Amino acid sequence: MKRILILVALLAIMGLWVNLSAEISRGLGLHFGTVSANGFSYRQINGNNGIQATVGAITLGDNQTDLYYYYYGNHGGAQNITVTDDGRRMNLNLGINYIRSLANKPAGRFYIFGGASLLYSRVKQFKQDYTLVSTDYDDHYQAVAGSTIRHSWENRANYYVGTGLGFELNLGKSFKWAIELPITLNEDGDIMMYIPQSGLYFVFD
Q: Model confidence over 91-107: pLDDT tens digits?
A: 999 999 999 999 999 99
Mean pLDDT, rounded, of the chain: 85
Q: Tell me the sheet residues that pair with 152.
A: 125
- pTM for this entry: 0.78
* Whether pLDDT at 140 is above 70: yes
pLDDT for 19 equals: 52
- The rounded radius of gyration (Å) of the Cα atoms in the chain is 24
With the CA atoms of 203, 105, 170 and 31 taken in that order, what torsion angle do they form, in degrees rounded to the nearest 10? -70
Q: Band the pLDDT of 108: cuts 50, 70, 90.
A: very high
Question: Between 198 and 134, where is the model more confident?
Answer: 198
Q: What percent of the chain has pLDDT over 70?
A: 89
pLDDT for 34 equals: 92
Q: Which of 72-76, 98-102, 163-167 has the lowest mean pLDDT?
A: 72-76
pLDDT for 135 equals: 81
pLDDT for 21 equals: 53
pLDDT for 18 equals: 47
Q: Band the pLDDT of 156: cuts 50, 70, 90.
A: very high
d(CA 93, CA 195): 17
How do residues 11-70 score in pLDDT, each as one tens digit?
545 554 445 556 788 999 999 999 999 999 999 998 889 999 999 999 998 888 878 877
CB atoms within 10 A of CB 83: 18
pLDDT for 7 equals: 55
pLDDT for 148 equals: 85
Architecture of 2-203 per CATH? Beta Barrel (2.40)
Burial class (CB in 10 A: 0-12, 13-18, 19+), 121: middle
pLDDT for 188 equals: 82
Q: Which of 12-21, 114-123, 127-136 has the lowest mean pLDDT?
A: 12-21
d(CA 11, CA 106): 27
Q: Which of 72-81, 104-113, 175-184 has the lowest mean pLDDT?
A: 72-81
d(CA 21, CA 33): 31
